[in-house]
Structure 1
Amino acid sequence: DKLVYLALGELRPPFDRLEFNLADKLIVRALGVGWEEYQRVGDLGELAEKITNHKFSNSQMTVSEVYEQLVRIAKDSGSGSQERKVRGVATLIKQMDPISAKYIVRMVAGKLRLGFSDKTVIDALSYLENGNKEYSEMLDRAYQKRPDVGVLAQMVKEWGAEKAAEKIDVVIGTPIVPALAQRLKTPREMIAKMGRVYVEKKWDGTRVQIHFSRGQVRTFTRNLDESSAMFPELTKIADQVNADEVILDSEAVGYDPKTGKLVPFQLTITRKRKHGVVEAQSSVPLRFFVFDIMYLDGKSLIHLPLQKRREILVKTVSKGDVLVVDEHIETDDPDVLREYHKKQLEAGLEGALVKQIDGEYMPGRTGFNWVKFKESEDSRAKLADTIDAVIMGYYLGKGKRSDFT
């Protein structure tokens, strides 16, 4: 697992980030050169390679030892931690050969750029098993349930691809890759492809995956980043949850504390912040519209049909001010679907979400299990997510991008 994380330029999976938080100037100090030299070279890694005097290191450090030393540097905190990190990086680099120094420094700077991704590692694990991509799809499905390629690599090495994919399952505290909706243009197409469906309101909020266990609540974004500190409301949901452990999928929407009316997305999104959270909560409190349940008291529910998951959800989440079980209608009539969608647009919502009544919870944008119906039935339907933007600033390129003008 450590080798995999290092190859990706990380110390932990994205949902459990551990970062060095060292500015370029501090890394240059660790290398013992002037800022002008860095500006001339344009890349911290190449600078480290250039100034490392020995072609081969005498160090007998293993990958695990290098990893553990990097973790210690990243974890250092408190008074004087920046100086200790600088010394730690300098000490480590002195033990490395030029190529190793190049990539370690890039990793510390957060600019490894090997071109690897989690998908690359999954393909590599398939090749490890039988020399081709035969197992990639199966391993990717396992990864979607527990998106930690370090754990996946460990289990494939120990058990083999097939058994590892069978053993990996949903775990409380580790985000599931969220289910995403496809697009179809008309209600008639939707019913023809999906059959009988549940239709829900499409809220104009922010996606929040809630991991609740007695004594702790963690939340994750649709990109799998942890966002727990942003939503103090969720520390008060114990009375609403009839379970010891549960994973819920929801959309958080802000509301006016005086009128109770939902506010525009532009106000809701002001809650996604690291500082001033309490003040923001007072001005824009949130309701979490819960529309799915993926895990309950030690058991994964993602393979159950939506209808069954909905029944469990209603029993698990009680009425309250913070969590609200999302309402839905059931239909196989395109006209009913069209009318429901129209009402949501008139109410100021984004439209409707259409879900197969017997569909599993399928992480990622897979098939036509979920479909979003946002625009009116015209040629604009596939352009609903475009934006107008003004470029306010930019950064000069570094490394391979240093010649960009």
Structure 2
Amino acid sequence: MAATLLEFAEVCEKIRSTSSKKQKITIVANYLRGLSREDLPLACRLLTSRVFPPWDARAVNISYSTILDALKEITGADEKRLKATYLKYGDLGSAAEELIQDKKVTTLLQTPLTLQNLYSALDSAASKKGEGAAEHRERVLKGLLALCSPLEAKYLVKVLCGEMRIGLDEGLLEEALAVAYGRGLKKVREAGLVVADIGESALIALDGAFETLKLKLFHPTNFMLAEEMSSPQEVAEYFRCELYAEYKYDGVRAQIHSSDKEVRIFSRRLEDITNSFPELHIPVGREVILDGEIVPYKDGLLPFQKLQQRLHRKTITQDVLNETPVVYFAFDILYYNGETYIDKPLKERRAILESLDLKPPFYYANQMKVRSEDEIKEAFESSLKLGYEGLMIKRPDSEYTPGKRGKKWVKLKKELATLDVVIVAAEYGHGKRAGLLSDYTFAVKSKDGLKVIGKAYSGLTDEEILDMTEKLNKLTVKDLGHKKIVEPKIVLEVAFNNIQRSSRHDSGYALRFPRIKRIRWDKSVDEIDTLDKVKEIYEQQTRKK
């Protein structure tokens, strides 16, 4: 029997109504166990506020304003009531639930809305491009809302806004999959890191197909991550063996997926950024997945900000290509001619990578063999002189572990590290920045949630502040007049002089003289630094004194 949106919404309400992790897992596991093979991946994506896999370039693109306009027409509510209902809940989904109780528009045939019907409608909304696309999306939404009960409308809107807020994250959903199908949680999580799509993970858990897990061309996997070390001495003493050292390029980490006819490029967040880099649309081999760094380069390195500007342009003109050309430094190969190589040692993967006949703008990442503290220090200083950020140090026997951070790979950066933080609040500036959200309160993550460690207002260009103001207004969850509390979505890389104890922030720490080094559009909130790292840097400072 086809799964319905009403059943999905009722399950979401049950999940939301309990704070017990165990009960949430039981509720979800029981629901998933009763789904068909066709409905299972769709339901799992919807539970994480997704319609499509993360690498799918399509987006439903139904905005807050479109939802409000549709609710106004379907319910007959005026502007005043819409605003009052939204402010009452601070959540558009809950507002829709109340408003739909006074629905004025319905369909002649009130047939149950299935998940497959919902997917078909949203697929249609996402696929329509060009003239008439906005009107088509609004018609699709009105048609769906006309079929919805109040509870269905609540969770339809929550999915469209990407704001489920039911206390269920992907980790808990993976636990529910393991329980539902009697699988080991470790295997479910490892599969999830490789396929990078909860819908596909669900099918693997259903089938128990962990041993035959392979990468797929044009389906990105999560990136292997590195720990950070503070000095060549620490690196040498920790490893005590021969290592590979590579320059740490100041660019955008990206996977290149290439067939002999097509190239697609995916960011760290698994987003399709192919259109941002047309000069890289050159096949590098038949069925190849590379890991590497896109670097802005024109007679030498260009500022990272130049590269970020390209990521937000809808059209890359010839002027942009001339002003900010890029190259790609490949340092790993994950898939080649139908075979997955992530379980092979780096030494073997590098040999296969170097067997490819890469031509500009593709280059092999510089690689040196090092072992002693002096050798590591010499390579590190060479990197800095060339304008790079530092070194990546890798064990030659390291397998490629998607989505995992460990000490098989470590990074050695300039002595004063930066922190990746997320904006949680923004305030209006003064003078020429009046009316613009230019002062940003930011946080790191801890086991108890996000913890504030500072506030910064310098480092961005006027153009970036305008862009940030527009985006933060859309992410606002509470408007305090001079200050806005925002969804934690935008990641910043922040530099600072040192860290001090502070009772002002709930983290217990504050950055001194913080300044924004850059906006990390390529990173998600899951990748920000931790409070443990802040404590570690603070303790290192104390020892040095």
TM-score, structure 2 length as denominator? 0.65
Among candidates 122, 135, 138, match of residue 184 of structure 2: 135
Give unpaired runs (5+ residues) of structure 2: 1-40, 104-108, 422-453, 459-464, 486-545
Shift of 1:99: 0.8
Q: Is the 8 A contact 2:188 2:205 kept in 1?
A: no
Question: 3-state SS of the aligned residue for 1:277?
Answer: coil
Among candidates 313, 316, 319, match of residue 277 of structure 1: 316
Shift of 1:167: 2.4
1:346 has 2:361 as partner: no
Q: Is the 8 A contact 1:270 1:280 kept in 2?
A: no
Give unpaired runs (5+ residues) of structure 1: none
CA distance in 2, matches of 1:298, 1:276: 33
The aligned residue for residue 232 of structure 1 is 278
CA distance in 1, matches of 2:310, 2:418: 27
Shift of 1:8: 1.6
Among candidates 316, 326, 339, match of residue 286 of structure 1: 326
1:45 has 2:112 as partner: no
CA distance in 1, matches of 2:250, 2:475: 35
Q: Say how many residue pairs are matched.
A: 384
- CA RMSD after TM alignment: 2.6
CA distance in 2, matches of 1:262, 1:229: 22
Q: Is the 8 A contact 1:147 1:176 kept in 2?
A: yes
Q: Deviations over 1:162-217 (max 9, x none)?
A: xx222222111011111111012232332333322100111111112100111110
Q: Which moved more, 1:74-83 or 1:385-394?
A: 385-394
Q: Deviations over 1:269-326 (max 9, x none)?
A: 33323334132111111111111111101001111111111111111133x2200111
CA distance in 2, matches of 1:10, 1:198: 39
For residue 247 of structure 2, what is the amino acid of its counterpart? K
CA distance in 1, matches of 2:142, 2:474: 27
Among candidates 222, 227, 246, match of residue 288 of structure 2: 246
Shift of 1:396: 8.1
Q: What are the residue-to-residue correspondences of 1:4-403 with 2, within 5 Å?
A: 4-31=44-71, 32=73, 33-42=77-86, 43-53=91-101, 59-130=111-182, 135-157=184-206, 159-160=207-208, 164-194=209-239, 195-235=241-281, 237-238=282-283, 241=284, 243-256=285-298, 260-278=299-317, 279-318=319-358, 320-376=359-415, 380=416, 382-383=417-418, 389-390=456-457, 393=469, 394-395=472-473, 401=478
The aligned residue for residue 431 of structure 2 is none
CA distance in 2, matches of 1:346, 1:198: 19
CA distance in 2, matches of 1:98, 1:88: 18
* Residue 62 to residue 308, structure 1, CA distance change in 2 (3 Å): same
Shift of 1:250: 1.2
Shift of 1:385: 5.9
TM-score, structure 1 length as denominator? 0.87
Q: Is the 8 A contact 1:38 1:44 kept in 2?
A: no
Question: 3-state SS of the aligned residue for 2:121?
Answer: helix
* Residue 85 to residue 343, structure 1, CA distance change in 2 (3 Å): closer
CA distance in 1, matches of 2:303, 2:65: 41
Going by fraction, where is strand more abundant, 1 or 2?
2
Q: Is the 8 A contact 1:182 1:365 kept in 2?
A: no
For residue 53 of structure 1, what is the amino acid of its counterpart? Q
Shift of 1:229: 0.3
CA distance in 2, matches of 1:271, 1:129: 44
Q: Deviations over 1:105-159 (max 9, x none)?
A: 22233433334333232121112133xxx722222211222111111112322x1
CA distance in 2, matches of 1:37, 1:167: 55
Shift of 1:383: 4.5
Q: Deviations over 1:347-379 (max 9, x none)?
A: 322111100011111222432011001124xxx
* Residue 365 to residue 187, structure 1, CA distance change in 2 (3 Å): farther
Shift of 1:398: 6.1
CA distance in 1, matches of 2:380, 2:157: 53
CA distance in 2, matches of 1:53, 1:218: 45
Q: Which moved more, 1:82-91 or 1:137-146?
A: 82-91
CA distance in 1, matches of 2:147, 2:310: 45
